[in-house]
Structures are given as C-alpha cells and as structure tokens.
Amino acid sequence: MTSSFADLGVPSSLTDVLAARDITVPTPIQAATLPDSLAGRDVLGRGRTGSGKTFAFLLPVVARRLADPSASRRRGRLPRALILAPTRELAGQIASSLEPLAAQAGLAHVTIFGGVGQNPQVRALQAGVDVVVACPGRLEDLLGQGHADLSGIEVTVLDEADHMADLGFLPVVKRLLDRTPRRGQKMLFSATLDSGVDVIARRYLHDPVTHHADSAQSPVAAMDHHVLHIDAGQRLAVLTDLGSAPGRTVVFTRTKHGAKKLAKQLNGAGVPTVELHGNLAQNARTRNLDAFHSGQASTLVATDIAARGIHVDDVSLVVHADPPVEHKAYLHRSGRTARAGAGGTVVTLMTDEQVRDVRSLTRAAGIKPTTTRADAGHPILAELAPGERTLVPGGLTIQAPAQGGGRQGSGRAGGPKGQGSRRTGQGGSQQGRGSRRTQDGSSRRGGPGTGRGDRTQGGPRRGGQDQGSGRGGQGSGRTGQGQGQTRRRQGRQQTSGGSIVAFSTSSGSGRRR
C-alpha cells in the first residue's frame, strides 16, 4: 500500500502546499527517507536525478523550522539550514521548489551563486534568512569577506554530491562543512558514492541511515531507448524533424561551441530553440531556461555541464546529438526525461564512425536500445516524437530585457536627433535624460554651452535625471536622449543578448549584426 505524505509524518500545512501543486503520492526516495529525515537522523540517499530528491530534503528542512517558529522572527538572525548544489540552475530550481513551502512556514531564504552581483545576496544575509541555497564557490567567497556565517546551521543538505565531485567542488564543500556545527543534521543525496563522495559521507555524516531509491547504474524503466544510425549529413534534418514535434525536447552536445552552433541551425530551420552552456552569462542562462519552461522554446540544446541544472518535469524526448564518452553522462543526460515516474524517450544519433563507441556506451549503461537505420523521412521519427510537425520561420528570438525597463537600440554616441544610450531611458530605475559623461570630462556635468549636468531628481545612482552632454554634444551617455553631432564615427555596443549593435552617425539608430 502506498503511503501518503501525512502517513510519513509531513505536517498538514505542508501537505496542503504539495496538494496544490498536484503532488500527492510520495516517490520511492521520498517514502524511504522522510521518516528518518523528519526524525532528525543523518540520511544518505542514493537516487538519480528526477527521482524526487528535492522534496525529500526540503520537507524536513521546512518542517524543522515549523517546530520552532520563534527563531524566524529575529531580524539579523543567522541561517539555520544550508543546501548546497553544484550548479546555478539547480540552485535556482531548489529555491523555486522551496518558495511555496517557505511562504507557508513564514521562512526567509536566499539563493547564492556566482555569475551575478553579490550585493543583493549580501543584503539578504545581513537582513537575516532561515535557509541558504548556495553553490559552493560563491558561498565560500562571501564567508571569506565576512558576509556569511554558518555557525548557526542546524541542517545541511548536499544535493547531487557526485556532480559536485565531477566539477571539483569537494575541497570547497569540505571547507564549508567544517564551518558548520558538528552536531547538526546532515543529508547527502547522490547517484553514486565514487569520486570522493564516500569520503564526505564517512567524515561528516553521523551514523547515517542509507536509502537506495534505485540502482544508480541502471536506467529508468519508464525510458524507451533508441539509437538512430544516420549519415552525418542527415543530422540536422533528423533533429529538425524530432524538434518540430509537440512537446519539449532536450538535445545534448559535447561542446559549448557545438551547442551554440546547433541552436542557431535549429532556429534557422524553424524550430524555436534556446541554448544552455557555460559560455552564457547568468542572465542569458536564466532567460533561456525561462523560455524553455514557459514553452516559448520547444527545444533546449545543452552541454553535459549544464545537464544537472535542467529540471523540467515534462520533457518528453532527450536526444544525444553527440553521444557522450562515459555511461554515467549518458544516464545523467537521459534523466532529463522520465522524471518522477513519468515516461520518456531517449534517442542517440550514431554515424558510421561512432558504431563501436555507442555500442560500448550502451552496454556500460546497462541498456539494450532499439537500433534503426534512418534518415529525415523515416517513419521511426513519427513513432519517437508523435504529432503534427510545426515550424516557425526564423525559430525563436528572445529580446533581452533591460534592468528596470525595456531596451532600445542604442549606443555610446548618437548622431543628429539620435536616440542613443547604452541602456535605454524607458522604465524602471534607469530613466533619465542626458549623460553620465560630459564634454569637458566631468562625471555628471555638461561642458560650456551643453546644458546643465546636475541631477535634478532621485537619490540612487541611475535613479534621477541628468541633462548634459554626451561624448560630442548634447546626446546620450548611459540613459539619456538628445541630439547633437558626435565626434566618433561609429559606436559599437555588445548587448546582453550577445549580438552586436552598430550605430550610424547620421541617425543614431541600432542595427543588429
């Protein structure tokens, strides 16, 4: 008989939150670990990505805070729960799952990772939080600067510890764990216990209860595995056919360059596609994942490094456009589908030169795929990805939003009657007229004859209005509008979306390249 969350000891206020998200039946890893974790025992949980590990540790973390609500009312309080994750995407996903539970319990939490400014994270820590969800590197930086304090931690969670090991984070993890009280509860979740994860478990977990949701080296039973033996010249056509079917598709490549190139090709073929790899800035990674989550993009092209950060429950198809080298990478990639008990299809593209490698790979992964010699018109494609094919001319174009408002085509120098700024003057905290740089070199004052450069409104930087000169007259700096002749023939500015905008001296308008 299947237990309910209430049967496992989860407080009713939290089961209501889960029910509102249509989560009513515990997964095997949740059913196995929750009785012990809710009782305060150290837990070592072994299960693959997609098995429901996130709520397996979030529920006891929040339930513990519910048992002592007074601690959450102190301003400037130290965090009492620490959750470590290997990637920014995974940390964000954990925080999203935590949000409704924390709101129900009245808990404050902060997500800490690199690639973005640290000031908002520092302010949150200074104000006081109950739960910290963090990537190891940035958290250690904040500790070194004196902005974080782990001396009050009562519960520590290591999620996907094996992936932390793969990324070389275990030395940092050890240093962080050494900063937490020894008496605190520890929970470690990992698909495997190799690469030093077993050392972490022995050193920091006290008399842990070990639970296995499934074999870490075996594929999920609900996955259908297929190998398509194709000619190299058919690769894009086959991917276009699969990606244009209904549902979400994740395509994996070996390299960042390969992911970027393939995403561009799929968009050109009419498949709305976004990319995810280490060369993207954090705002671009978040924007692309949001587009994939919302359905704006039907296909996501990613690298192995990004594989662990993709947590979308309804991915129907995973395609290994480049077969991975190791079988563990194959299982981790494939874990983007068939999540939380759902079914899914995994397809590996194989050329003549890859036959031996793919056979070795599938044998090591413990799977027996169905192999089909196929091209773009083969009926097997409709079986693997059923439904009417839909192509969108040009694929997907995502406009990068400005901070506090929209961006307009802009540059560092506007021409006559040109509207030019590095950041637009519409909306939010970046409104303003004029420039930050002036004709005579001062920071916020215009030179003779160019107007007044004093701020007339607002206190915070970028919040008020300036009237003054641009680089060569009355024109734009970061947020202004104006007109005048520029000394520069052309300005070039890299936008946050990654494209180049070139600006004419005659109109000040932007032209994407």
Last residue of a domain, one of 167, 190, 212: 212
298 is in which domain, residue-wise? Answer: 223-384
- Within 10 angstroms of residue 219's Cβ, the number of other Cβ atoms is 23
Give residues with Cβ within 8 angstroms of 461, minimum separation 6: none
Q: Are residues 68 and 151 in the same domain?
A: yes
Pinpoint the alpha helices (H) of 145-234.
161-166, 170-178, 197-204
Local confidence band at 454 (pLDDT 50, 70, 90 cut-offs): very low
Nearest C-alpha neighbor of 8 from the set 25, 31, 27, 29: 31
Domain annotation covers residue 398 = no
Local confidence band at 456 (pLDDT 50, 70, 90 cut-offs): very low
Q: Are residues 198 and 285 in the same domain?
A: no
Domain annotation covers residue 29 = yes
Comparing 472 with 20, the larger pLDDT belongs to: 20
Q: Are residues 38 and 182 in the same domain?
A: yes
Tokens of 344: 């899914």
What is the pLDDT, as a whole number, of residue 279?
87
pLDDT tens-digit map of 62-120: 998 776 655 545 545 899 999 999 988 889 989 999 999 999 999 999 999 998 899 99
Give residues with Cβ within 8 angstroms of 75, minimum separation 6: 127, 128
Angle, helices 53-66/88-105, rounded to nearest 10 degrees: 40
Domain annotation covers residue 485 = yes
Last residue of a domain, one of 186, 212, 238: 212
What is the pLDDT, as a whole number, of residue 494?
39
With vertex at residue 193, the alpha carbon angle to CA 192 and CA 194, rounded to the nearest 5 degrees, is 100
Angle, helices 119-127/136-144, rounded to nearest 10 degrees: 70
**Residue 227 — φ and ψ, nearest 5°?**
-120, 125
Q: Are residues 230 and 279 in the same domain?
A: yes
Q: Are residues 433 and 470 in the same domain?
A: yes
pLDDT beyond 90 at 130: yes
Q: Are residues 66 and 168 in the same domain?
A: yes
Residues in the chain: 513
Q: Are residues 245 and 374 in the same domain?
A: yes
DSSP 400-468: PPBTTB---S--S---TT----SS-SSSGGG--SS-SS-TTS-SS---TTS---SB-S-SSTTTS-B--
Comparing 60 with 198, the larger pLDDT belongs to: 60
The percentage of the chain sitting over the pLDDT mark of 90, rounded to a whole number, equals: 51
- How many structural domains compose the chain? 3
What is the pLDDT, as a whole number, of residue 66?
77
Give the C-alpha separation, 281 to 391, whole Å. Answer: 28
Q: Cα 236 to the chain's mean position, in Å?
A: 26
Give residues with Cβ within 8 angstroms of 413, minimum separation 6: 420, 470, 471, 472, 475, 476, 486, 487, 488, 490, 491, 503, 505, 508
What is the pLDDT, as a whole number, of residue 74?
52
What is the pLDDT, as a whole number, of residue 212?
80
Q: Are residues 179 and 298 in the same domain?
A: no
pTM: predicted TM-score of the whole model, two decimal places:
0.61
Give the C-alpha separation, 185 to 41, whole Å. Answer: 7
Nearest C-alpha neighbor of 44 from the set 191, 215, 194: 191
Mean pLDDT calculated for residue range 297-306: 87
Per-residue b or e along 24-33, where b marks 16 or more CB atoms closer than 10 Å to that residue's CB: eebbbbbbbb
Instruction: Taking the CA atoms of 340, 345, 350 and 355 in sequence, report the sign of the dihedral they define.
Output: positive
Is residue 144 within 8 A of residue 33, CB to CB? The reply is no
Last residue of a domain, one of 148, 178, 212: 212
- Within 10 angstroms of residue 151's Cβ, the number of other Cβ atoms is 9
Domain annotation covers residue 125 = yes
Q: Are residues 47 and 144 in the same domain?
A: yes
| CA distances (Å), origin 220, targets 51, 329, 332, 346 | 10, 14, 11, 11
Give the C-alpha separation, 366 to 369, whole Å. Answer: 10
Q: What is the CATH number of the domain that holds 25?
A: 3.40.50.300
Average pLDDT score, the chain: 77
Domain annotation covers residue 400 = no
Give the C-alpha separation, 360 to 368, whole Å. Answer: 11
What is the pLDDT, as a whole number, of residue 307?
60
| CA distances (Å), origin 292, targets 257, 287, 296, 303 | 20, 9, 6, 15
pLDDT beyond 60 at 487: no
- Within 10 angstroms of residue 211's Cβ, the number of other Cβ atoms is 22
Domain annotation covers residue 401 = no
Q: Are residues 187 and 156 in the same domain?
A: yes
Local confidence band at 490 (pLDDT 50, 70, 90 cut-offs): very low
What is the pLDDT, as a whole number, of residue 71?
52
Domain annotation covers residue 27 = yes
pLDDT beyond 90 at 304: no
399: DSSP letter: P
What is the pLDDT, as a whole number, of residue 110?
98
Q: Are residues 286 and 423 in the same domain?
A: no
Q: Are residues 198 and 250 in the same domain?
A: no
pLDDT tens-digit map of 217-248: 444 556 789 999 999 999 999 999 999 999 99
pLDDT tens-digit map of 166-211: 788 899 999 999 999 998 999 999 877 777 888 999 999 999 999 9
Q: Quickly tell me which residue has 């962080």 as its tokens.
A: 176
The answer to which of 59-63, 198-202, 210-214, 500-504 has the lowest mean pLDDT is 500-504
Give the C-alpha separation, 253 to 256, whole Å. Answer: 8
Local confidence band at 341 (pLDDT 50, 70, 90 cut-offs): low
pLDDT beyond 80 at 1: no
Task: Select, from the ranges 122-131, 395-404, 484-493, the one with the highest average predicted confidence (pLDDT).
Answer: 122-131
Give the C-alpha separation, 182 to 369, whole Å. Answer: 47
pLDDT beyond 60 at 408: no
Nearest C-alpha neighbor of 405 from the set 384, 421, 378, 423: 423
What is the pLDDT, as a whole number, of residue 94?
94
Tokens of 455: 């701020």
pLDDT beyond 70 at 370: yes
- Within 10 angstroms of residue 327's Cβ, the number of other Cβ atoms is 18
